Amino acid sequence: MIRQQFLQELWELLAPVPEPIRRDWMYDYEEHFRIAVENGQSEEAAAVELGDPRQIAKELLLGYRVEQAADKNGSITHVSRAVLAAVSLGFFNLIFVLGPYIALLAVLISFYAVAGALCLSSLAAIYESVWGTELTYLQGSSLAAVLMGLGILTGVGTHRLARAVARMTLNYLRFNSRMITRGNKK
Amino acid sequence: MNVQFKKGVLELCVLALTAWEDRYGYELAVSISHKFEVAVGSVYPLLNRLTLEGYFSTYLRESPEGPPRKYYKLTPLGHTHLMELTVEWRSFSQAVDQIIKEGVER
């Protein structure tokens, strides 16, 4: 009964994970119950030994999210999911994982905004040289070229930076998941 | 012993136990939890994660008692990782020993 409950709960909690991996993971916990009972342990004792299924599921999900994000070459959506999985492991991670991550995201967004603004202002320079009075065609078009160039450079640089941030975040999460204390102490 | 402390070396222990022979999860969980008091439940998620990271491959093998068991086999990548961790651990524990000697046993 307790075995069924435990396994059922874990199975449901692992719903975000594709079925083949989920089945593979579940095999360990099923096997643990089976061998423990063969060795004369009660199902209750075996369940206590394993700990809280919710905690196990969180830890497994974190590992899965991190690997998935790494496979997807650090796409922001996948990295963010991994970060959230880490945060769900405890309050501690809210401060040491989510905080810095949001700060880094904000920096990236502001760089992208700068890149966008530079590109837009080159359009403004062209507009001014055509319809305005301040700039000649030559001044306008060279100013536009310079601004556009800067905008593209900033954009490319920021893109590289985003990649680096994603990689760093994943490495940090891997390191973190090795260190995270589990609810069931012994 | 401190929980954080044990968690840090758990990975090394699991990899070390599988260096020469493949083992099944229960065997690993129980032999480690006997040696130093770590929760049995923390071993399985670790095994699952190390498999996901490519350090282990798993397969089912028939067992004389009952259904087949899931065995963990160290991959070449896992082997390299074990070697790295061992070197790290050696230099770390030597440094700590050294500091204890200088600090306590003078």
- Position A128 confidence tier, pLDDT thresholds 50, 70, 90: confident
Cα–Cα nearest to B82, from B18, B36, B22, B27: B18
Residue A56 phi, psi dihedral angles, 5° rounding: -60, -45
pLDDT of residue A180: 54
Q: How far apart are CA A92 and CA A115, in angstroms?
A: 35
User: Does residue B2 surpass a pLDDT of 70?
Assistant: no
What DSSP element (H or E) covers A90? Answer: none
CA distance A5 to chain B (A): 16
**Interval B38-66: pLDDT, tens:** 778 888 989 998 998 899 999 999 888 78
- Position A184 confidence tier, pLDDT thresholds 50, 70, 90: very low
CA nearest to B37 within chain A: A186
- Position A181 confidence tier, pLDDT thresholds 50, 70, 90: very low
pLDDT of residue A98: 87
- Percent share of chain A, pLDDT over 90: 47
Q: How far apart are CA B4 and CA B17, in angstroms?
A: 21
pLDDT of residue A182: 45
Record: contact B39-A178, CB cut-off 8 A = no
Record: contact B41-A67, CB cut-off 8 A = no
DSSP B50-103: HHHTTSEEEEEE--SSSS-EEEEEE-HHHHHHHHHHHHHHHHHHHHHHHHHHHH
Record: contact A186-B25, CB cut-off 8 A = no
pLDDT of residue A55: 87
CA distance B94 to chain A (A): 22
User: What is the DSSP code (8-state) at residue A98?
Assistant: I
- Position B78 confidence tier, pLDDT thresholds 50, 70, 90: very high
Residues of B in contact with A21 (CB under 8 A): 52
Domains of chain B as residue ranges with CATH? 3-104 (1.10.10.10)
A and B: number of Cβ contacts within 8 A? 79
pLDDT of residue B3: 62
A47 CB within 8 Å of a chain B CB: no
* Domain ranges within chain A, ordered by starting residue: 89-186
Angle at A119 between CA A116 and CA A125, to 5 degrees: 140
**Interval A31-52: pLDDT, tens:** 999 999 988 999 999 999 888 9
**Interval A91-124: pLDDT, tens:** 667 778 888 899 999 999 999 999 999 999 998 9
The mean of the pLDDT values for chain A is: 87
pLDDT of residue A97: 83
Q: Which of A19-28, A92-101, A139-148 has the lowest mean pLDDT?
A: A92-101
